[in-house]
């Protein structure tokens, strides 16, 4: 005699008929899969026929055979600087000089406009969260914009630096003076956001990095992150010049020094890390620290000419890696997967499509400090979920949904996005805000900032207005 199943359980939302890439511990794919969601939490996932028997819901979304995956998380984004693209030059030689002018010209209203468009763009491209890079003068304005769109973010204090080092910017931002007393006063200023466990905008510890922090300041940052149980981020080893500078000041490679000094550990997530020697790769791997990778900048600044990327090796050693878009100035959100794949192939290395999706999901979840809650579709995790349309040619023939998504479809075809169980994108449009209004605010801000920074875009083609 077989046991009769009980009546179906009630949940809030059922997603059915999707090709569900769970990215769970076994990397299970349900070709015809379904997800049951209650409140902000995933309560069940499995074949549609099984889930439909066990669960009933007031609302139901048919994924129509499209790919369903965990929301992507960007591990490093300067949300307040999103609107500089098009105004800063795309030719060589721009560098930090133009960024300095832009940074010094932005207002609170500009940072809000910038984060509003960045958040909208992230959501529309299948991202449900990002780690702010800690360069906003008005974190509350960033938080308000992120909350308005409905995605997640983790914020940090603005440009904490107590030496200039190789980072010329560290002596040129009036509103963020190079001053240890200021840094110690501001450090951890965003952590109060974590008191609300349900908050989508949280806080972490960050220094600017890139040689602009002394060991003393780094020690304070690491100790605070340890005490508060949050992540500690900074820029590190972007270029060969920067790596050489640190090697000179420490008498050894930076990451070896940091490991010896106890300044890196499982709660550290450093961004860039383009120039690393073998001893540093060992130190990183042994420390258990996480990394945030920008293979686009690695090529854009010609860093790839100075040596191969250590990231494929670090991935093979099990280091947690997220992608971080930094500023979407010459690439869009989601482009870094294909760039990472090609950067790896250039040196005869290989980064699998599965690895790329793990970086967008698991790596991002680790970088934002929520590794057990985000990054996979399985019971108990937050319902941060993306549903792609199957009704576009880039998704076809889809015989290998992982390769198709990672390398071909990339961010195309995002139909529905859930954050915390809430539908924030439906049929490819934001549900909470009028996108036309966001674009109007963004255009006005970009034009105003460019005017004040004397960085008005110059058209190489005759432009009739």
> Considering only 121-129, 260-268, 318-326, 373-381, which stretch makes contact with Zn ion by CB under 5 A?
318-326
For residues 364 and 129, is the Cβ–Cβ distance under 8 A?
yes
DSSP class of residue 349 equals -
Beta-sheet pairing, 72-77 with 127-132 = parallel
**Those residues with Cβ within 8 angstroms of residue 396's Cβ, 6 or more apart along the chain or in another chain:** 390
326 counts as binding Zn ion under rule CB under 5 A? yes
Where on the phi/psi map is residue 126: left (φ > 0), alpha (ψ -120 to 50), or beta?
A: left
Element (H, E) at 242: helix 240-250
3-state secondary structure 146-177: HHHHCCEEEECCCCCCCCCCCCHHHHCCCCCC
Q: For residues 103 and 133, which CB has a smaller minimum distance to Zn ion in the complex?
A: 133
57 counts as binding Zn ion under rule CB under 5 A? no
CB of 63 to Zn ion, least distance (A): 35
Q: For residues 133 and 299, which CB has a smaller minimum distance to Zn ion in the complex?
A: 133
Rounded Cα gap, residues 22 and 5, in angstroms: 25
81 counts as binding Zn ion under rule CB under 5 A? no
CB of 327 to Zn ion, least distance (A): 7
> Considering only 20-28, 285-293, 319-327, 450-458, which stretch makes contact with Zn ion by CB under 5 A?
319-327
CB of 272 to Zn ion, least distance (A): 7
Q: For residues 133 and 356, which CB has a smaller minimum distance to Zn ion in the complex?
A: 133
CB of 336 to Zn ion, least distance (A): 13
CB of 138 to Zn ion, least distance (A): 18
Rounded Cα gap, residues 206 and 234, in angstroms: 6
> What are the DSSP calls for 384-406, one per residue?
-EEEE-S-SGGG-S-SSHHHIII
Q: For residues 55 and 208, which CB has a smaller minimum distance to Zn ion in the complex?
A: 208
CB of 45 to Zn ion, least distance (A): 35
Q: For residues 133 and 201, which CB has a smaller minimum distance to Zn ion in the complex?
A: 133
Rounded Cα gap, residues 116 and 435, in angstroms: 10
- Interface positions, 111-150, toward Zn ion (CB under 5 A): 133
Question: Which chain residues interact with Zn ion by CB under 5 A?
Answer: 133, 326
């Amino acid at each position: 005699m077989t046991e009769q199943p009980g009546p179906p359980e009630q949940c809030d939302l059922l997603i059915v008929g999707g090709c569900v890439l769970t990215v769970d511990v076994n990397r299970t794919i349900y070709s015809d899969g379904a997800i049951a969601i209650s409140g902000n939490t995933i309560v069940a996932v499995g074949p549609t026929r099984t889930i439909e028997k066990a669960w009933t819901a007031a609302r139901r979304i048919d994924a129509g055979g499209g790919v369903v995956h965990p929301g992507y998380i960007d591990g490093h984004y300067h949300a307040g600087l999103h609107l500089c693209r098009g105004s800063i030059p795309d030719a060589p030689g721009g560098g930090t000089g133009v960024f300095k002018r832009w940074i010094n010209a932005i207002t609170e209203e500009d940072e809000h406009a910038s984060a509003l468009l960045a958040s909208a763009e992230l959501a529309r491209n299948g991202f449900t969260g990002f780690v702010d890079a800690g360069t906003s003068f008005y974190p509350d304005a960033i938080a308000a914009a992120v909350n308005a769109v409905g995605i997640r973010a983790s914020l940090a204090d603005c440009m904490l630096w107590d030496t200039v080092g190789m980072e010329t910017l560290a002596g040129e931002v009036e509103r963020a003076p190079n001053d240890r007393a200021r840094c110690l006063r501001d450090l951890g200023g965003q952590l109060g956001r974590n008191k609300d466990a349900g908050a989508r905008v949280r806080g972490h510890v960050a220094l600017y990095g890139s040689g602009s922090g002394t060991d003393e300041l780094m020690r304070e940052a690491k100790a605070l992150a340890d005490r508060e149980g949050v992540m500690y981020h900074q820029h590190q080893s972007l270029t060969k010049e920067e790596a050489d500078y640190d090697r000179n000041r420490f008498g050894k490679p930076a990451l070896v020094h940091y490991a010896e000094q106890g300044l890196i550990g499982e709660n550290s997530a450093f961004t860039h890390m383009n120039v690393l020697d073998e001893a540093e790769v060992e130190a990183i791997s042994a420390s258990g620290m996480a990394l945030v990778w920008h293979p686009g900048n690695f090529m854009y600044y010609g860093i790839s000419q100075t040596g191969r990327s250590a990231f494929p090796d670090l991935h093979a050693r099990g280091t947690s890696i997220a992608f971080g878009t930094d500023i979407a100035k010459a690439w869009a959100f989601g482009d870094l997967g294909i760039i990472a794949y090609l950067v790896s192939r250039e040196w005869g290395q290989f980064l699998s499509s599965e690895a790329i999706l793990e970086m967008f999901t698991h790596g991002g979840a680790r970088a934002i400090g929520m590794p057990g809650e985000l990054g996979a579709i399985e019971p108990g995790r937050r319902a941060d979920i993306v549903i792609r349309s199957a009704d576009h040619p880039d998704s076809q023939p889809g015989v290998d949904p992982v390769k198709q998504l990672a390398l071909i479809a990339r961010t195309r075809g995002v139909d529905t996005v859930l954050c915390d169980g809430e539908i924030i994108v439906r049929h490819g449009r934001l549900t909470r805000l009028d996108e036309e209004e966001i674009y109007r605010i963004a255009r006005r801000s970009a034009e105003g900032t460019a005017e004040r920074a004397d960085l008005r875009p110059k058209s190489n083609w005759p432009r009739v207005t």
